[in-house]
Amino acid sequence: MKCKEILEKLSEYIDGELDPRLCQELERHMEDCHPCLVFVNTLKKTITLYKYASSEPLPKEIHLRLHDFLKKECRDH
Amino acid sequence: MIELSDHFLIEKIRAGDFGFFEALVNRYEGKVYRLALRMLRNQQDAEDALQETFLQVHRGLKDYEGRSSFSTWLFRVATNVCLMKIRHRGTEPANLLPLEDYLPRHQEGAHPSIQDWTDRPEEALLSKESKEKMLEALGKLPADFRAVFVLRDMEGLSNAEAGEALGISVAAVKSRLHRARLTLRGMLSDYFEKREPRRAPG
């Protein structure tokens, strides 16, 4: 498998959607190709960093303003 | 306590019970706000989008047929509100780089030099500055690519759910997601490669 073909299949590979035979070919390629291995690692890590990016809980004032707004807009119509 | 299903709440809301609408909003407001903040990148716009979304939900509930799950339908409304806001801003991110800049140029037999920054300690990868860089990178994606990435990789929707939320095919979801991921990887790698890993105090 050539590096360029690997590139196209990477998201499917990471998401577990790739045909097992192609998975094997891809993994065999990565054993011998350090740059591709690093590329895949950094791609996986990128996704993980975003996936577990902490998020703020909804600030209380925004919650209160939202409900006031909806009461006004929705109830009297 | 048994949690009432979305379906149950919706039936009650259609019957005119506003209290159940407030319960439905409580259930999803955090998620919608988080999506809006990630798409729009400032609190004021995110709050506007949050209000607009639930207003549209209230008005649209009579047309919601239950073909997709309520949360998918809600994400569809929220994402459209955000995309409209981005378009009305008139200014997409100032430095919108062509995606091709971040796709590695692979020539036969040659590799661009590449650093493995994944083994750096978590504190370095998740520092305040790194997190800001991550959000900045996300903001540099064109809106349609940003939306797919946020829905799939941050909010955890499936390919099918993201497709429904965005009104595009699963194939389009997968293709945009892949390009978004490669672009973000490229931007983060540029950033991490330029920073020296911190040396342990000697």
Higher pLDDT, B122 or B40: B40
pTM for the complete prediction?
Answer: 0.88
Whole-number Å distance between alpha carbons of A51 and A14 = 14
pLDDT band at B126 (very low <50, low <70, confident <90, very high): confident
Q: Residue B2: pLDDT above 80?
A: no
Compute the radius of gyration of chain B from its Cα atoms: 20
CB contact under 8 A, A43 and B104: no
Whole-number Å distance between alpha carbons of B20 and B8 = 9
CB atoms within 10 A of CB B186: 20
What is the SS3 assignment for A1? coil
pLDDT band at B198 (very low <50, low <70, confident <90, very high): low
Length of chain A: 77
Residues of B in contact with A58 (CB under 8 A): 29-30, 33
| Nearest C-alpha neighbor of B84 from the set B40, B125, B145, B127 | B40
CB contact under 8 A, A66 and B29: yes
**What CATH number labels A3-75?**
1.10.10
Contact residues, chain B to chain A, C-beta under 8 Å:
18, 21-22, 25, 29-30, 33-34, 37, 43, 47, 50-51, 54-55, 58, 103-104, 106, 108, 111-112, 114-118, 125-126, 131, 134, 138, 149, 153-154, 156, 174, 177-178, 181-182, 184-185, 188-189
How far, rounded to the nearest angstrom, does the alpha carbon of residue B47 sit from its chain's CA centroid?
Answer: 16
Q: Residue B199: pLDDT above 60?
A: no
Q: Residue B98: pLDDT above 60?
A: yes
pLDDT band at B115 (very low <50, low <70, confident <90, very high): confident
Length of chain B: 202
Question: What ipTM was predicted for this assembly?
Answer: 0.91
Interface with B, mutate which of A8, A10, A11 (most B CBs under 10 A): A11
Q: Does A4 touch chain B (CB under 8 A)?
A: yes
For chain B, domains (ranges, CATH) are 6-89 (1.10.1740.10), 99-194 (1.10.10.10)
